[in-house]
Structures are given as structure tokens and as C-alpha cells.
Structure 1
């Protein structure tokens, strides 16, 4: 069976499934509730069983941010950049930087937003507004914000998914959750912390999702990082086609303050901004 046939088959399954969840409320898509619904869905369970069995004895391969199967830049020789922002969720990561998003809107800068299921749970109305904004592309940052792993590898103190079955849920359940709310299935997945193993990248690809890392690390995720350091981290490393990683779930960080300097400077130097789905990725 070709990849095209697989994706078409999965597409029909997703369309049939999503029609039964066409009307959602915040309570309907809470992670715990939504996952219970999926576990009563025969098509979801069949796909999970298939993927889990296929990868049950697969070695994880390399672990990191730039492993085989993970994309990190777009194909272009033009001065184009992709701004990507993560929203991680959880007790210490469910904030919303309204000033940052408002600034992007004011400057008419398109961006790709990677959101976790946990963040959606804490910010449902805001998520609806963002998903309706044509400037922004909504993508997948995992159901519970666990680094994607087939053997429980952890990073920055965040425990990874313990096996292929949990990795499947981390990716696919949030794919369906976002689709249930927005009507659109995400095309891209960024693992929590951006760390993953090669096996998880293969799982994502089998689900029709491209795993994404980054090319330019802004450094905004280190609490209390001065805006000057964030500015320097971006300006020193940008190049045509680069993906910049930042966050919009911590208004107390200096992400917005740094962007106020960085965006005008990049625009002045001739750069434009695109969303990830606007250009092909180089692949790895």
C-alpha cells in the first residue's frame, strides 16, 4: 500500500470520525474526557493497535532536537523566516501573552502556533479566537506536553512518553482534539521541549504528520532571560528559510519585549515572514 493510499484511507476515517464531534464545548475536549471518547472509538483504537504493534520493538534511535525525520527549515533562497511559537500548558505553562499576539496582529506578521492539549484546556476561548485568525496557523504540541519517546526518555525534567502506544496518543489524540475544535487537522507536530527520538519521528510520519524542530533558538524559554540576549540570539543566527522558536504562554518572559526590537530590524533588513504551511520543508 502506498503512502498516498494510506493517507487517503486515514483521511476518510478522520472525516467520518470528526463529523460525530462537530459540535464541541470546552468540557467535551478536556484531555481526560476527550481521551475517554477516543478509547470508545473503534477506528482510533484500531489505528493505535496497528501503530503500537509496528513500533513495539523498534529501537528509539538517536535522541535530540535534530534527529533523522525531523524538519527544521523551509526550502527557499529568499529572505523568508518562519516564526513559530509554543504554548506548553500545565500548572506553570498555561499563561497567554496577549501583548505578543497583539503585536503580531498589529505588525501583520504571520506565525505558526504549536499548542498542547493542556494549554487548550486552560485557554479554550482564546484558542478559538487564535484558530479563527488567518494570520496564524495552528499546529500540534502534544496532548499532555510530554517529549515524544518510545522508551520514556526525559528532557529538562519532563518525562517522555514511555512507549509507542503513549507516543501515539500524544500525537494523534491532540491531532483529533484540535480538529474537533477548529475543523482542521494539524500538519505539523513539535514534541515537548523539541526533543524526540527517531522512532517517534517515524510514528508521526505514519500518521501523516511532519515533526518539526527549529533552526534558530531564541532562548526565551529560560526564565528571566534579558530581552537583549533573546534579541542577539535571533539576530545572530537568522538566515533565509530559518524557523525561529519562541513561546506565547509566558507573558512574564521577555519574548514580547524582544520582538519589539527584532521584528522591525528584520523587516528593515529585507526579511518577510511565512507560516510553515506556506512553503515546503527541506526534510531530513
Structure 2
């Protein structure tokens, strides 16, 4: 078991207990190295920058932006939900976190939300609000939140021949919920992927987005410890993974309220993942 504050993307897993964002306003094996900073910068807002495919069209992987282009950092939040959590939501368990989203809006912090299709089905009003707010960008976190590799934090595993359809189904759910422009970025459940998974998604045009700073907010009860971990880990171009889930990540709002002024005091500027990938386009 990985220590609570250091656990790498217990993040999105441990029995798939994690789940999602809300709106305050109407480990895979044999992982290839992340793709180099080969991005295709889009001239239009409707086509966000993506990394170029790897050899043989393999889905590219992005972990962080350039370290030498100024103090930028992207906060990302996983909106996890699985089909079996529907009854728990109906029974009153909160898989959203409107106070966190409200804090981000109050602090004027742009952020990238990786949303499962199942969560968008459950919370279409919140999904639509986030997807239509220019402060946020919404990306794909699978439909089912099943793992794309074996032995991924206890998550059920999706078959290789169903991986592509799961991602496409998530995009359909986001669109149906009212997210007009879900980005061509995909985050593997649990962060677990291998060459088979990358190959299965080849041709979809997505960039797989990982991270270089694990907040440790999943299941954490000590906001101070999570805050220190984020502040100790951030470097120029960092991508921080957090969660916006009241039931499984209850400290995250407090963490954000502490981390944001501290990093701004150090001269950091908050950006979206698309901004970091766009910066990578000109840094070859």
C-alpha cells in the first residue's frame, strides 16, 4: 500500500472509490517514456494543440510543460465515477464538490477537468456549467473508469478491444450533457497505461495526459500535508493531479485555497493543460 499522501494516483482508484467535480455556479507495466515536446499548435480555438503521434501512430503521452519558459503550472482535477456508484449517489453520497469549483472561480484559477462519461451522465448540469465556462476546460477520463492495464489499484479492467469504444462513449456523454468542446486529451484511469493501451487509442487523435506532481489528496484527511506535498513538488511547467470529490477527497478545497496564494507568491502563473501543450509546440 502506498502511503496516503504519497500514493500515486490512488488518485483515481482504490476500488474506484473516487468521483468527481461539481459546479458552484448555474500503474501499468512497461510504460514507454512520455513523448518529447512535439506538439502541433492549432491556429484556431476550436482545435487545441496536441502532441504528435509516436512511432507507428502510437498515442502520445504528456507529463509536463517546458521547464525553461517561465513559472507556469496547471492544476488538474479528476471527475471519477463508475456505473456501480449510481446507487450510492441516489442514496445521498456526494460525488461532486461545488465548494471547490467555487473556490477556483473566486481565486480566478483556470483548471483542466478530466471527466468520466458516467459522471457527466449523473451530473449533466454541473458538466454543462464547467464545459461552458472559459475558466475551465473539460477533457476525457474514460466512460467507465475501468483500468486500461491489469493490476491498477484494484480497478476492474477493460478489454483491449473495448478501450477505444469506452473513450468514444465518454465523449458522447460529455456532448450529451452539454459540454460543447471536450478537448482531445485523455487521462487513463489510475494513470495506468502500457503500449497495448496506447496502441488501442491510436487514431483517435488524443494526447494522453499524465502529471509530474501527485497531490495525494485522494482519501487524505490532513490538508496541510497535501498542501506541503504540492508546494514541494511544483516546478515550472508542472501538471498537478487532484480530485474534486467531496466523499473521497474532502480536503481539496482547503488545499487549493492554501496552494494558490503560496504559488502566486513564488511567481507562478496558473494555466490550463492546453496552454502547457501549446508552450511545448514552440520548444523543440
TM-score by length of 2: 0.71
How do residues 232-271 of structure 1 correspond to structure 2 at under 5 angstroms? 232-250=228-246, 253-271=250-268
- Offset from partner CA, 1:71-126 (integer Å, 9 cap, x none): 11123521000110001013268611111110110011000000001111221111
- Offset from partner CA, 1:55-85 (integer Å, 9 cap, x none): xxxxxx9455966742111235210001100
What SS does the aligned partner of 2:73 have? strand
1:65 touches 1:213 (CA, 8 Å); kept in 2? no
- Offset from partner CA, 1:35-66 (integer Å, 9 cap, x none): xxxxxxxxxxxxxxxxxxxxxxxxxx945596
Q: Does 1:120 find its partner at 2:120?
A: yes
* Cα distance change on mapping 1:185 and 1:138 into 2, 3 Å: closer
2:227 touches 2:258 (CA, 8 Å); kept in 1? yes
Give the deviation of 1:189 after TM superposition. Answer: 0.3
Q: Does 1:272 find its partner at 2:260?
A: no
Paired residue total:
218
2:220 touches 2:226 (CA, 8 Å); kept in 1? no
How do residues 1-284 of structure 1 correspond to structure 2 at under 5 angstroms? 62-63=29-30, 69-75=60-66, 77=68, 78-90=70-82, 91=85, 95-149=95-149, 153-163=150-160, 165-180=161-176, 181-221=178-218, 223-250=219-246, 253-280=250-277
Give the deviation of 1:173 after TM superposition. Answer: 1.6
2:145 touches 2:189 (CA, 8 Å); kept in 1? yes
* In structure 2, distance between residues paired with 1:217 and 1:183: 29
* In structure 2, distance between residues paired with 1:160 and 1:196: 11
2:140 touches 2:182 (CA, 8 Å); kept in 1? no
- What runs of 5+ residues in structure 2 fail to find an aligned partner? 1-27, 36-59
* In structure 2, distance between residues paired with 1:171 and 1:138: 14
- Offset from partner CA, 1:6-46 (integer Å, 9 cap, x none): xxxxxxxxxxxxxxxxxxxxxxxxxxxxxxxxxxxxxxxxx
* In structure 2, distance between residues paired with 1:185 and 1:126: 14
Give the deviation of 1:178 after TM superposition. Answer: 2.0
What SS does the aligned partner of 2:225 have? helix
1:215 touches 1:243 (CA, 8 Å); kept in 2? yes
* Cα distance change on mapping 1:217 and 1:99 into 2, 3 Å: same
* In structure 1, distance between residues paired with 2:171 and 2:117: 9
**Which one scores higher on RCO, CA 8 angstroms, separation ≥ 6?**
2
Q: Which has the larger radius of gyration?
A: 1
**Runs in 1 of length 4+ with deviation above 3 angstroms?**
61-69
* In structure 2, distance between residues paired with 1:88 and 1:70: 20
What SS does the aligned partner of 1:206 have? coil
Give the deviation of 1:132 after TM superposition. Answer: 1.1
RMSD across aligned C-alpha pairs, in angstroms?
2.3
2:186 touches 2:207 (CA, 8 Å); kept in 1? yes
